Copies of this chain bind each other. A is one copy, B any other.
Amino acid sequence: MDLQSVIASASLFKGLPDQQIAEIAGIAQPRTIPAGGLIFSDGEEADGFYIVAQGKVKVFKVSLEGKEQILHIFGPGEPFGEVPVFTGSAFPANATALIKSTVLFFPKTTFVSLIEKNTPLVLNLLGLLSRRLRQFTTQVEHLSLKEVPGRLASYLLFLSAEQNNSLQLSLPISKGQLASLLGTIPETLSRIFARMSEKELIRVEGREITLLDFKGLEILTEDGRL
């Protein structure tokens, strides 16, 4: 996929005239990152933001003891690291490629001068940031108001919705990564998968999950107890 069409299909740039897209493509710098490669790190001075062209990128925080909490996993077309563009400071988290990925880098100063005369783009940006805030609201809610089984159930239902409501779904990330995304550790996650299987809520075969009791999962989502 070429640079131009990646940019054109990113929702951040939806609805912009071709000429604008071309202008934006002009400032994008493609970079290829190997699996596990660092893209930026927490506290690092931010001189631009990124969009995933191909691959998968995780953004995460790490505690002093080394435990990691994934904030987001991004796929093709999704922008990340955009917050410091508008707060003029450092990245608030780390980003690495989960698999070999190509990202587009947009230098801050160039980009800002570009949006200053482009209202539709700016409205898209506002939309993006707002959606992201909403996601965080949900994440805080989950971390504080739900036990791990409830969070996992939510995640599975979310995945199902994402994969055409199929009852057959495959985890897009390893179980270890999933544990971090859900704010727990692999051992705990493994036990909960086992309990959910016993109770015939799901069937687990490696990364392939079958939802056996959709309704039951919805209940779990709400009342949390397994």
Contact = CB atoms under 8 A, between A and B. Distances in A.
Give the dominant DSSP class at A's interface.
helix
Nearest to A89: B134
Contacts of A86: 123, 126-127, 129-130
Given A86-B123, A133-B83, A145 B67 contact: yes
Contacts of A82: 130
Nearest to A63: B145
A44 interface: no
A41 interface: no
B61 A145 contact: yes
Interface residues of A, number: 44
Interface string A185-202: 000000000000000000
B222 A140 contact: no
A48 to B, nearest CB: 14
B85 A130 contact: yes
A92 B137 contact: yes
A216 B61 CA distance: 23
Contact of A140 (B127, B136, B146): B136
A69 interface: yes
Interface string A99-141: 0000000000000000011010011011101111110111111
